[in-house]
Structure 1
């Protein structure tokens, strides 16, 4: 489970892009390697243990690192680590930054585990090795390539964090509800209606929905409609009034105010070429 207090399962909760790449380093085994209360204020850090062992303390929690483990440390998080003296680790690390235009990226990254036991150690090591090769070769488009690889690794962490929770019966019920909301974005569902679909009492449903999506029922339905309207506006198929109506808003003025509140942008700005 991640470090966040809630298990986030909303399909669009994780929505960020990898922007800057600061470094990619392949560190040879060194029995004396250590860091003490180190925190990178500018970059998030990903690393994979290729061979050997190491010990870490991240957020006050100790971890015994072995080959195939992927380590993730958000920017500004202090961590202490040292190589195993008898079997020093070799690791590849990358420093990078991300941006999210649709949500709180700190909250998104804060749910992810600091250490993920990779079910396929060679797969993780291969992805990081490809990162290092691309960084050293610097052929045309290498930064695009590296951002793509880092995005793939982050997606792997998201899946490793999310999948165990998706098997919980309550989670599946809430996911069935969110799917119904998305498929019927033009409708407004009450808590009682959705609770009945989930087979839960309204109070229990309301609490579970908030815990698993990070939003209230009203906020979630508004977000789905805003997302649909955004797609329509960006496609060039609709003007503001048409997008509002097709997304399920009857009052275009209310739609414009809500759109501005949620996205920070006026919907008319998305129709400009």
Structure 2
């Protein structure tokens, strides 16, 4: 096992090193032998944190949730260097000498875990990472990683209990659960990065008076209709045209709230030539007809004073 750093722990940080007896138990247990933790922890604002290893016998995950740091990994083809910033995860595979350290002016806060097991070597492929010269990749960018915090907190809180075999098995299954969710979070981050929903929504608002179709929206995104519709559904959970029509209904509500324009005029201003279709769509989205919505949302006229 590659020993964790002996960096002095500041207040709020933690470091857990599994006892050898429990490591041996996990290595032989049918539920955990394929992947189990050796050590893990949480370093907060780790100023001065610096590690360099010429020998590395296990796998190490480092997730930066604040600040930044840098790393160097020595591969058979040469050194791979880079910076790790908030929202990014670094995987250091077994057998690769490496160095990593917190930034001097903006030191990182990190969650980390050393792990091993019969399937540990397959974690590179599982996470979509590679150590080959042609496609060396050791870092993932994650989205919505905060959703993992309950699992991380439970894992860290195990250190406050007496280390017994069943707690060690729980720690291993929690680590496995965390790893299992990483590819999805990385995929979502890539989709959000390559799909500018805000720019597309601005285009929709600027053209809310038009009868846009799927081809028009796909062209703005620079994608085919098929790939655009698929990616849009993944990012938003709904179809592009439904999203556009619901945006139009929101704008219609605003006009019904603030103007005296007729329902027909509002429909036409939003690109609906058929006011009856507009009314049906409005009721489908809002649950009431446009006229009923206006009656229930506009302030009542004040009664004349006696």
Structure number with greater Rg is 2
TM-score (norm 1): 0.44
Higher normalized contact order (CA 8 Å, seq sep 6+, divided by chain length): 1
TM-score (norm 2): 0.40
